[in-house]
Structure 1
Amino acid sequence: MTTASFSASNTAAVAAAAAARTVLITGVSKGLGRALAVELSKRGHTVIGCSRAQEKLNSLQSELSSPDRHLLLNVDVRSDNSVKELARVVMEKKFVPDIIVNNAGTINKNNRIWEVPVEEFDTVIDTNVKGIANVLRHFIPLMLPKSRGIIVNMSSGWGRSGAALVAPYCASKWAVEGLSRAVAKEMPDGFAVVALSPGVINTEMLQSCFGNSASGYQTPDAWSLKAATMILNLTAADNGASLTV
């Protein structure tokens, strides 16, 4: 599949986006995940969010439109058992998602690969790659009976190129691209699995790489306006695509 920018020109897709959806967002407590959750709630959609930061989840709950409509839970996507429990609660409460946004991610501190501590390398891979696999393992079976669904795996421009000092992160995002394309081939008709690069956004992760110059890029809130529209407009025709907001 080729990398492409998304254009919301399909009338049927736009009409479908108007219907209320249930959207699972991992890594929802800050950055892109938080901004996307707030924007989707404003548009009348239901958010299932997870993060390891309980205090930030509590804060986010009060920011969402119609707070009681949403489900925010303390989950570590690196743990298969933790994600399995999330899936159990979601099924119990009949919150099965129409859309999944695998957003949880982390990056290593700027360093040459031979200077990256093994624990730091493992954290990047466990979060960015295994975390997505854990969500797919437990949530795809819940979505299959609906015969339709969208899965968005957050990638990066560095998952399609490379950069010095962030080799673990680049490796993880290249893995996300490959994983997304492979799983896309496994899904039945009616589903789409895509890898989505958000572009360059002023998040904590960018600040860790770029320092003060990160402030020259757009904010997560500004990004979420475009990203929400794009994600809601995805259809089965996008299966296997690598997209950029």
Structure 2
Amino acid sequence: MTSVLITGASRGIGRAIATELAARGHRVVATARRPEDLDDLPVDRRLRLDVTDQKSVDEALRDSGEIDVLVSNAGATIRAPLENVPVSEVEALFQLNT
């Protein structure tokens, strides 16, 4: 059985991947900034993880056990003309998405 850690599993593609992999018998560790959003997922572990916070990353890795596969799915977008977006928001988005 493969152990898979999925970031951004609270909704969308990450949630669908977590559900499908768990149904196929994999050990799934689902993560999200708000772990309560994962309560109804049929997965092995549900952990808090903010990929922009190193302490959060370290804690999630410690608590997840051995992992074979990482699905790096956490991300966000900004929907606005670039000239209207503060540089600090662009930097935060870059940190989250990369």
Across the aligned residues of Structure 1 and Structure 2, the Cα RMSD in angstroms comes to: 1.3
Which amino acid counterpart does residue 48 of structure 1 have in structure 2?
V
Q: How far did 1:89 drift? A: 1.6
Per-residue CA deviations over 1:9-41 (Å, capped at 9, x if unaligned) read: xxxxxxxxxxx2110100011110000000001
Q: Report the secondary structure of 2:66's partner residue.
A: coil
**Percent sequence identity over aligned pairs:** 39
Give the whole-Å Cα distance in 1 for the aligned partners of 2:22 and 2:30: 11
Other-structure match for 1:4: none
Out of 45, 49, 61, the position equivalent to 1:75 is 49
Out of 32, 45, 58, the position equivalent to 2:26 is 45
Q: Output the TM-score relative to the length of structure 2.
A: 0.90
Q: Report the secondary structure of 1:47's partner residue.
A: strand
Out of 32, 36, 40, the position equivalent to 2:13 is 32
Other-structure match for 1:125: 94
Give the whole-Å Cα distance in 2 for the aligned partners of 1:54 and 1:101: 17
Kept in 1: contact 2:6–2:28 (CA 8 A): yes
Q: How far did 1:59 drift? A: 2.6
Q: Report the secondary structure of 1:59's partner residue.
A: coil
Per-residue CA deviations over 1:144-188 (Å, capped at 9, x if unaligned) read: xxxxxxxxxxxxxxxxxxxxxxxxxxxxxxxxxxxxxxxxxxxxx
Q: How does 1:168-183 map to 2 (within 5 A)?
A: none
Q: Which has the higher contact order (CA 8 A, sep 6+)?
A: 2
Q: How far did 1:116 drift? A: 1.1
Give the whole-Å Cα distance in 1 for the aligned partners of 2:5 and 2:78: 25
Task: Show structure 2 runs of 5+ residues with no match.
Answer: none
Out of 110, 115, 123, the position equivalent to 2:84 is 115
Give the whole-Å Cα distance in 2 for the aligned partners of 1:25 and 1:71: 10
Q: How far did 1:87 drift? A: 1.3
Give the whole-Å Cα distance in 2 for the aligned partners of 1:109 and 1:123: 14
More helix as a share of residues:
1
Which amino acid counterpart does residue 73 of structure 1 have in structure 2?
L
Give the whole-Å Cα distance in 2 for the aligned partners of 1:49 and 1:98: 14
Specify the structure having the higher radius of gyration (Cα).
1
Q: Output the TM-score relative to the length of structure 1.
A: 0.38
The ranges of structure 1 where at least 4 consecutive aligned residues each deviate by more than 4 angstroms after the TM superposition are: none
Give the whole-Å Cα distance in 2 for the aligned partners of 1:42 and 1:104: 21
